[in-house]
Amino acid sequence: MGHNSNLLPPATAAPRSARISYWLLRTLVVNPLFRLVFHGRVEGRPPASRGNPYVVVANHGSDLDPPLLSCAMGRPVSFMAKQELFHVPLLAPLIRGLGAVPVRRGHVDRRALDRCLAQLQRGWLVGVFLDGTRSPTGMVERPRHGAALLAQRSGCPLLPVAILNSHRALSRGSMGLKLVPVTIRIGTPIPAPASRDRQTMEATSQRCAAVINGLLTGAPLPGSGPEQAS
């Protein structure tokens, strides 16, 4: 599905250093982690390596989700991540290198929103975890409106994605990894909402939640079958 590109200014390339940092981290760190440690699989059709930006909206069960999802998408993804993660040793430099945007939870963070709009302008995908925090079950439980607002502001479609088993691989409060298989299932794009009123934001957010939870519980995917991440 297309999007109203008139809502975004003309594209400007990301700084070369940012692109190099992203691809080095993805190739040398994240891809081996996803493929070799967690036997990662991608089901569904990732966005084309070049093309229109999307707001990738996903469930959130683990701090592993941003780098694993970046790997599965096959093109740069800039995640909205709680600002506390930018003070975690080892994780902080990784998520910075992967283009994450710090967000203040519990606030309307307009600076973070503007940064995400800039990333979409550059052709990156922007990732938003629908609950805004980790779920102990991995399911979407209380969807927030941030992804719908970003899609409405940018005109970019929402791409629902389900991350299976990351909440078991690194559960909330756990200090060690569990070597369980992780699968990422990619759904069909959802058009950006036409209005910013509360009813539309709620309906769009609930639709995303329903699609993601369906993917988590085995809803069939259109198009391609499973493929090994590369």
Amino acid identity, residue 110? R
Q: Higher pLDDT residue, 85 or 78?
A: 78
Q: How much is the pTM?
A: 0.81
Average pLDDT value for the chain: 81
User: Across residues 13-31, what is the average pLDDT?
Assistant: 70
**pLDDT for the residue numbered 51:** 73
Do residues 196 and 149 touch, judged by C-beta distance below 8 A?
yes
Rounded to 5 degrees, φ, ψ at 186 are: -105, 125
Complete DSSP assignment for 93-122: HHHHHTT-EEE-TTS--HHHHHHHHHHHHT
Does position 41 have pLDDT exceeding 70, yes or no?
yes
Ordered by where they begin, the domains of the chain are 15-220 (3.40.1130.10)
